[in-house]
């Protein structure tokens, strides 16, 4: 059975780099204010990059996660556990993200700058989300939940690196497209990694319990004191 210690130990490369990433983001947040950090991270915009990140950001959407899960179930049936883990991690990260969004009132970038009369404008403000549910970034949480699952399941260095790059691109796309601040992405990264890790632990724990129940029921003695593993009497 997987425990937090076992998962971290067996996938130390992913968790070390994930911790390093959060440390870098944390340091950046300490050095820049919310608005200054946003402006700095959006200092370079082009039409090509906008199109690129509009496509990248979709990879953090729940629809994409479900799509990947279905593809695995249909074409890679021996890896159906991976499909279930991906969907479970997405659901767990989504629940955590929505709980925080409902508890914390945090304005989206375009709303934040307007409220504080900050004379700053981006072309992406036209299509950016508005409202007060900015923290945390749900797309970042979903992307890092997926990255965590793939890294743990495959447990290969190249998958770990690719997964982290994937998560970083999705997270940055949320800032580039003016949907979130860096602090929102930071929250999403944390929720995603925790959700992915917990999903693996919960899945294995439930699976073991189900196996034990099935075995117990299969080998229960009948009223005559005999045991029938196949739950059938005999052909008489």
pLDDT at 160: 96
pLDDT in tens, 64-80: 999 999 999 999 999 99
Q: So what's the pLDDT on residue 234?
A: 39
Is residue 203 exposed (0-12), middle (13-18) or buried (19+ Cβ within 10 Å)?
middle
Q: How far apart (Å, rounded) are the C-alpha atoms in residues 178 and 181?
A: 8
Q: What is the pLDDT of residues 165-178, one digit of tens each?
A: 999 999 999 999 99
Contact 144, 188 (CB under 8 A): yes
* Domains of the chain as residue ranges with CATH: 4-31+44-218 (1.20.144)
Please name which of 200, 235, 234, 236 lies closest in space to residue 7, comparing C-alpha atoms: 200
Q: Which residues of the chain are under the pLDDT cut of 70?
A: 1, 211-212, 218-236
Quote the pLDDT of residue 187: 98
DSSP string over 75-143: H-GGGHHHHHHHHHHHHHHHHHHHHHHHH--B--HHHHHHHTT-----GGGGTS--SSB-SS-HHHHHH
């Amino acid at each position: 059975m997987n425990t937090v210690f076992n998962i971290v130990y067996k996938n130390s490369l992913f968790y070390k780099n994930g911790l390093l990433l959060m440390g870098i983001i944390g340091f950046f947040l300490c050095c820049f204010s919310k608005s200054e950090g946003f402006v700095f991270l959006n200092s370079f915009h082009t039409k090509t990059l906008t199109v690129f990140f509009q496509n990248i950001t979709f990879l953090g959407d729940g629809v994409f996660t479900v799509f990947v899960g279905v593809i695995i179930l249909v074409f890679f049936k021996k890896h159906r556990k991976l499909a279930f883990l991906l969907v479970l991690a997405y659901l767990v990260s989504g629940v955590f993200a929505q709980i925080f969004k409902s508890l914390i009132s945090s304005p989206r970038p375009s709303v934040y700058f307007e409220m504080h009369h900050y004379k700053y404008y981006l072309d992406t403000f036209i299509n950016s989300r508005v409202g007060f549910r900015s923290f945390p970034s749900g797309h970042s949480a979903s992307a890092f939940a997926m990255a965590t699952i793939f890294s743990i399941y495959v447990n290969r260095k190249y998958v770990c690196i690719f997964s982290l790059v994937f998560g970083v691109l999705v997270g940055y796309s949320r800032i580039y497209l003016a949907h979130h601040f860096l602090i929102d992405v930071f929250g999403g990264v944390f929720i995603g990694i925790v959700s992915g890790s917990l999903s693996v632990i919960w899945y294995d724990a439930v699976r073991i319990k189900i196996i034990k129940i099935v075995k117990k029921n299969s080998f229960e003695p009948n009223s005559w004191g005999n045991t029938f593993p196949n739950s059938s009497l005999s052909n008489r």
